[in-house]
């Protein structure tokens, strides 16, 4: 698989296009497919840009293909919501058997989120799979897993999304949970042994740099505390503006201190939470983003699950030494999750600031992960359930933080993944009333927006159910993969 970034090959043209803002969405140019060899386009550009009357947008439209840049769903007649979603599975299905522009090739068909997102996304795909399970589309569930495995085996990890400019970061590691979901569907335990080497390779990616790391230091996605414990964080290998948000990043960086602003921005993107007050030192402005200084509760819980799954897949193959190793790693991480992330006074889990050696201030919905995965004890689960009911649950579902900053992963927005994590986490510990309220509030919100607009959205306003969610770097998107998946799964329960 080529890691050649064709964006780098047209850097002068790309920079001019993005700075000129000839497209409303900066993602347009990153997704464009060159119609001619890059050298030829560059030569034409260098020659023609000096000519009087040169029109940059006309030049770009003549030399690049923008087909499929945005998915628009149109219906002559509005169907019942569940029938609409069934049709969407086919309409959101894509193939990429060869590389085109920045789009990476993948061996199997896949489901894209929708709207401006016309490629394979990592953690989105798990929540899409929840709906595919309800729809009985087992083959597509298997396709998603096979595509993830292909990327892990060929790239070393699953990129944020299947484009070359995402080859510097991943997303929350859900591959082991995807295997659980398929096992739950097929009862075929060989799924774990089939993908054992893939699980190992993803684990190696997240733990890369651990050996030799000194106390109170970090490298890539690994942090060693001043007590010598090993935690993980989100990270991105590049420290440059994101191509898909090029000018936004350049403008935000103008008043940002420090040399790691772009990497902090990109690292937050690896979490899927782009962006939130969760990452901001002052809780208000993106210029104070400090993702690199934070070890997050969600990624550490997911890696605990990966360690548990590796212990299981090792046991199935009688790899006793590996089974013991991963069992111990999981046990160690469980202890660390309790020590570093549990805030007894606040009755919730928080992230850990690795430079200040204390928990961060931000109250956020990632506190659900220990309940979703069964890591919390009964007292912790009860406290979190009360915190969730008091501070996060509104008439339109669960919000992501208690802070209103204007960022899309803050109040008042509610996102599909956390409605499922909340419902399942509450059910795991017997808090059925809270679970049912989460389910009913969010599903009613989704149904209301669908009845009014004929659309399923990327995110929802959980406070004011008369309006559509906003905030962030781009408008709310229609489609929408993980909303479809979580809605179907919740309605089934």
Strands 222-224 and 217-219: antiparallel
Write the CA distances from 203 to 159, 206, 351, integer angstroms. Answer: 14, 5, 21
**Residue written as token pair 């929408």:** 480
Burial 472-493 (b: 16+ CB within 10 A, else e): bbbebbbbbbbbbbbbbbbbee
Catalytic residue among 274, 307, 437, 478: 274
| β-bridge partners, 224 | 217, 230
User: Two tokens at 441?
Assistant: 């509030």
Q: Report which DSSP code applies to 161.
A: B
Q: Is 274 a catalytic residue?
A: yes
Peptide bond connecting 421 to the previous residue in cis, omega within 30 degrees of 0: no
- For the chain, the straight-line distance linking the first and the last C-alpha, in angstroms and rounded, comes to 41
Which residue among 236, 410, 458, 478 is the active-site one? Answer: 458
* Rounded-to-integer distance, Cα 171 and Cα 234, Å: 8
- Give every CB contact of residue 326 below 8 A, 6+ residues apart in sequence: 307, 308, 310, 311, 314
Specify burial of residue 457 (Cβ count, 10 A radius: 0-12, 13-18, 19+). buried
Active site residue 210: no
- Angle in degrees, CA 297, 229, 261, rounded to 5: 55
Residues 6 or more apart whose CB falls under 8 angstroms from that of 49 comprise 16, 56, 59
Place of tokens 């050696």: 357
CB-hemisphere CA count at 13 Å for 362? 31
Alpha carbon distances (Å) from 33 to 11, 60, 109: 15, 10, 20
Active site amino acids = 274, 458
């Amino acid at each position: 698989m080529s890691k050649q970034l064709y964006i780098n090959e047209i850097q002068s043209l790309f920079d001019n296009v993005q700075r000129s803002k000839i497209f409303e969405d900066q993602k347009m140019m990153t997704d464009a497919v060159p119609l001619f060899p890059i050298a030829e386009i560059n030569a034409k550009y260098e020659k023609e840009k000096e000519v009087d009357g040169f029109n940059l947008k006309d030049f770009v439209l003549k030399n690049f293909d923008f087909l499929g840049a945005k998915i628009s769903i149109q219906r002559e007649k509005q169907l019942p919501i569940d029938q609409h979603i069934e049709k969407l599975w086919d309409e959101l299905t894509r193939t990429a058997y060869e590389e085109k522009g920045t789009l990476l090739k993948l061996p199997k068909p896949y489901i894209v989120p929708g709207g401006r997102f016309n490629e394979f996304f990592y953690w989105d795909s798990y929540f899409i799979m929840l709906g595919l399970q309800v729809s009985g589309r087992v083959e597509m569930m298997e396709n998603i897993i096979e595509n993830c495995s292909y990327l892990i085996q060929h790239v070393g990890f699953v990129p944020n999304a299947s484009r070359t400019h995402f080859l510097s970061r991943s997303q929350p590691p859900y591959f082991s949970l995807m295997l659980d979901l398929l096992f739950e569907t097929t009862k075929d335990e060989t799924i774990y042994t089939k993908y054992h080497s893939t699980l190992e390779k993803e684990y190696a990616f997240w733990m890369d740099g651990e050996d030799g790391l000194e106390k109170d230091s970090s490298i890539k996605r690994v942090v060693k505390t001043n007590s010598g414990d090993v935690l993980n964080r989100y990270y991105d290998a590049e420290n440059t503006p994101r191509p898909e948000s090029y000018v936004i990043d350049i403008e935000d960086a103008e008043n940002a201190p420090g040399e790691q602003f772009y990497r902090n921005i990109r690292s937050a993107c690896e979490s899927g939470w782009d962006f939130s007050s969760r990452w901001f030192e002052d809780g208000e402005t993106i210029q104070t983003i400090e993702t690199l200084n934070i070890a997050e509760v969600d990624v550490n819980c997911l890696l605990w699950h990966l360690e548990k799954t590796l212990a299981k897949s090792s046991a199935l193959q009688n790899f006793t030494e590996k089974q013991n190793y991963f069992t111990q790693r999981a046990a160690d991480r469980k202890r660390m999750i309790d020590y570093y992330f549990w805030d007894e006074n606040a009755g919730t889990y928080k992230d850990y600031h690795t430079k200040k050696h204390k928990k961060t201030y931000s109250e956020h919905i990632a506190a659900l992960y220990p309940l979703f995965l069964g890591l919390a004890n009964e007292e912790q689960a009860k406290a979190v359930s009360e915190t969730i009911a008091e501070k996060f649950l509104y008439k339109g579902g669960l919000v992501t933080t208690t802070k209103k900053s204007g960022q899309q992963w803050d109040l008042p927005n509610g996102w599909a993944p956390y409605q499922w994590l909340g419902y399942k986490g509450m059910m795991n510990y017997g808090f059925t009333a809270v679970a049912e309220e989460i389910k009913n509030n969010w599903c009613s919100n989704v149904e209301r927006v669908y009845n009014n607009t004929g659309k399923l959205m990327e995110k929802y306003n959980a406070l004011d159910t008369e309006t559509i969610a906003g905030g962030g770097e781009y408008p709310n998107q229609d489609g929408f993969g993980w909303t479809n998946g979580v809605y179907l799964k919740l309605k089934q329960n």
